[in-house]
Chain A
Amino acid sequence: MTVESYREQFRDALLKMNQEAARELLMQTAEVLTPVQRLESLIIPALIDIGDQWGCGNAALSQLYMSGRICETLIDELIPILEVRRRDLPRTAVVVLGDFHVLGKRIVCSLLRSSGVDILDYGTAEVDETLTRIQEDGVKILLVSTLMLHSALKVIELRTKRDAAGLDFKIVVGGAPFRMDEMLWHEIGADAMGQSASDALGIIENLAKEME
């Protein structure tokens, strides 16, 4: 069986939210793929594919969320931590501004951690607290996950205070308000916008290149 065929089967198992089938498939490939290959050729592309499918309405949020959760579990079980290539990227954090709708943030964390990105999870926080933590942690990229419009509009305050304080970090936004209004991220002054959690890795890598 080819890697492509394994990948499709793995993705289909995730879409069916079938952890056992996904585990079995990963174990089958142990003879032909190294742990890193399993991560980079099966797990990450499958998650990105599902995220893209959700972005264009062909998969549901529950499938994206459960896929991330299943992959985190399987990576913990089957892929030795030292084998996972840690990506050399600018310090990145994720936050939900003043809102308790955190599902999107959890999905972003799952996808990025499964992809070998060390991401700081600030949970739900207000703007001032977020800025303090960014300074303390030396964060260069902040992902802001949103569901509610008022939470999305808080990015204006975040950006204004960032600029006033002369802080040097990029703001990446994502979530329902930005999909419903594709002009919104420009209007509020974000540096980039992701249509889906699966866009996050590419955006971080692009911003990292710009920062070099």
Chain B
Amino acid sequence: MKGDTLTPLERFLAVVSHKEPDRVPLFLFPTLHGARELDMTLTDYFTRGENIVEGQLKLREKYQHDCLTGFFYAAAEVEAWGGEVLRRDDGPFNSGRPIIRDPEQILDLSPPIVDNARCLQESIKATAGLAAECGKDVPILGVAISPFSLPVMQMGFGSYLELMHDRPALFEALMAINEEFCVDWANAQLEAGATAIVYFDPVSSTTIIPRDLYLTTGLEVARRTIPRIQGPTGTHFASGHCLSIIPDIISTGTGVIGVSAEEDLSDIKTACDGKLTIVGNLNGVEMRRWTEQDAEHAVKTAIAKAGRGGGFILADNHGEIPWHVSEETLLAISSAVDQWGRYPLDWIDADA
């Protein structure tokens, strides 16, 4: 963007140190939109790591955002366990029938070897390709589904909630297996050149489970897993609420949180108390019908609430821009960040 004096990586490092860089970083996650740039269907796009590299670089050139990712789709992780992926050309791929259909199967489960899983290796190839192209200047984000959230795809949401409630020993056994996989997968991405890992943990949000349950489940899993990931991590709740568990999240050792559009950024900023950097919280669902003015208003509001003092990265609230969001809207967001994201954010007082 015109007027930038830092590289995206320098900007990222400044905000996570809770310092004000040249402007608010913009982490767009248009993981699907690369297919449009390459004039491919989503099904074709997500077959090769090289496509992701080319798509991500084209997207960054267009939107001037501050990160890249070799991420394919969340269901790739369960695909590595032998699970089915339901491909579609109008949105993100989903996992199909659960691989764990009877809780007793957990006793015979063993984690896949990352090096042997083609779906993961294509993502590794993308991460390595992006790192080779611009890893010195742009943060490359890896993504690992938390051991605590992966079972939603492994066994289905309802069955997993019942496992947690009815079969605590099998739940713990599954966590132990998943933790090994998550650590291996996250570290493989770091080794390939990822700057940091997004620890994707929607089930830990208070939208999904109450805090009391989180304290004895998702929190303990995160405390065991995150320290074993050999690089910086950010925890993302995929638009789930997290305000009331922020002090607990801090204790996991993560450095960043992805927050919901349904929670107030001022409250989140206060709760983070300079200990966590916030990523969020533009509403990706509403974004589909935003005008240029709507985009500008949303960007200004978010920056006004959380931008001061660093510790804030503007992004959508789910970790993935929906396929139906237009190029014009993403350009409007980028332009608004360029205009209103310059430090010092003196316009906030003038607008108040």
Residues of chain A having any CB pair with chain B under 8 Å: 15, 17, 57, 59-63, 65-66, 69, 98-103, 106, 148-150, 153, 176-177, 179-181, 183-184, 187
Contact = CB atoms under 8 A, between A and B. Distances in A.
A99 B97 CA distance: 11
Interface of B: 86, 88, 90-92, 94-97, 156-158, 161-162, 164-165, 206-210, 213, 239, 241, 261-262, 283-286, 288-289, 322-324
A148 B165 contact: no
B92 A103 contact: no
Given A57-B207, A57-B241, A57-B262, A184 B161 contact: no
A176 B86 CA distance: 20
Contacts of A149: 91, 284-285, 288, 322, 324
Contacts of A100: 86, 94-97
A99 B283 CA distance: 22
Nearest to B153: A100
A62 B88 contact: no
Contacts of B161: 62, 65-66, 103
Given A180-B239, A180-B285, A60 B158 contact: no
Contacts of A17: 165
User: From DSSP, what is the main secondary structure of chain B's interface residues?
Assistant: loop
A208 to B, nearest CB: 29
A101 B88 CA distance: 15
Contact of B206 (A60, A65, A180): A60
Contact of B91 (A15, A66, A101, A150): A150
Contact of A148 (B91, B96, B206): B91
B23 to A, nearest CB: 27
A102 B158 contact: yes
A148 B86 CA distance: 14
Given A57-B206, A62-B213, A103-B158, 6 more contacts: A59-B210, A62-B210, A100-B94, A102-B158, A103-B161, A180-B285
Contacts of A148: 91-92, 94
A150 B323 contact: yes
Nearest to B91: A150
Nearest to A151: B91
Contact of B88 (A57, A150, A177): A150
B111 to A, nearest CB: 23
A165 to B, nearest CB: 23
Contacts of A184: 285
Contacts of B162: 66, 69
A184 B210 CA distance: 28
A17 to B, nearest CB: 6
28 contacts: A17-B165, A57-B207, A57-B241, A60-B213, A61-B207, A61-B209, A62-B208, A62-B209, A65-B161, A66-B161, A66-B162, A100-B86, A100-B96, A102-B156, A103-B157, A106-B158, A148-B92, A149-B91, A149-B285, A149-B322, A149-B324, A176-B239, A177-B285, A179-B262, A180-B262, A180-B286, A181-B283, A181-B288
Contacts of B239: 176, 180
Nearest to A99: B94
Contacts of B158: 65, 102-103, 106
Contacts of B86: 100
Pairs of residues from A and B, 9 with the lowest C-beta to C-beta distance, nearest first = A150-B91, A180-B285, A103-B157, A181-B285, A60-B210, A181-B286, A62-B209, A61-B208, A60-B209
A180 B94 contact: no
A13 to B, nearest CB: 14
A181 B324 CA distance: 14
A66 to B, nearest CB: 6
Nearest to A98: B88
